Amino acid sequence: MTTKRSNEWPEQIERLYREQGRELWALFYAHCSDAERAHDALQEAFTRLQEQNGEPIRDMRAWLLQVGRNWLRDVARRQKIAARSSEHLDLHPGEEGEPILSLVRQELQDEVRKAMDQLKEADREVLVLRYALNWSSHRIAETLNTSSSAVDMRLSRARKRLAEILERVGIEK
């Protein structure tokens, strides 16, 4: 995809964001296991895209992915990634009617987040593509340049590892 005129950018970028935002967010999430940071990386990538001022880009998706990942690496270099705590941004405030339920849910969310953080990036990658994007094994395989059976195997292994971590830290189902 090649850009043409800079005055077309806002619409183009908006459309691209709608089309590819979820997938890119998921891949950034797999990289950093932090929803907020993945979102920041996504915004950063699209901001940089806007700053390109119509410079032709051959593979827009790959470019955005690279920019976002580079940004994540820079951020990780500059600051230590501290364990997420309960002050983690509540992305869905007010969703639960019951405060206690909301608290319990938030706690579980934090624990799963920590558990996800302990997984390898490859494991996180298949999990986020399957469970955040609802992708089939076939589609995941195409994106990751592997086979569906390899994806299924990796998914199974990742689920098992996650379950082990959850059991180890005492999270009950």
Residues making contact with another protein (CB under 8 A) = 18-23, 25, 29, 35, 39, 42, 59-61, 91-92, 105, 109, 112-113, 116, 127-128, 130-132, 134-139, 142-143, 156, 159, 162-163, 166-167, 170, 172-173
As measured in angstroms, the least distance from the Cβ of 142 to another protein is 6
Report in angstroms the alpha-carbon separations of 150 from 36, 47, 126, 136, 157. 30, 35, 10, 13, 10
Q: Write down the least CB distance from residue 43 to another protein, Å.
A: 10
Using the minimum distance from each CB to another protein, give the nearer residue, 22 or 73.
22
Neighbours of 109 (CB within 10 A): 17
Q: Give CA–CA dist 25/39, Å, rounded.
A: 6
Residue 77 or residue 100: which is nearer to another protein going by CB? 100
**Smallest separation (angstroms) from another protein to the CB of 116:** 8
Phi-psi bin for 145: left (phi > 0), alpha (psi -120 to 50), beta?
left
* Contacts with 112 (C-beta within 8 Å, 6 or more apart), sequence order: 166, 171
9/165 with CB nearer another protein: 165
Q: How many other C-beta atoms lie within 10 A of the C-beta of residue 29?
A: 24
Nearest approach, Cβ of residue 68 and another protein (Å)? 13
Among residues 48 and 152, whose Cβ is nearest to another protein? 152
| CB of residue 168 to another protein, shortest distance in Å | 8
Would you give the DSSP letter of residue 86? T
The counts of H helices and E strands in the chain are 7, 0
CB nearer to another protein: pick between 4 and 168: 168
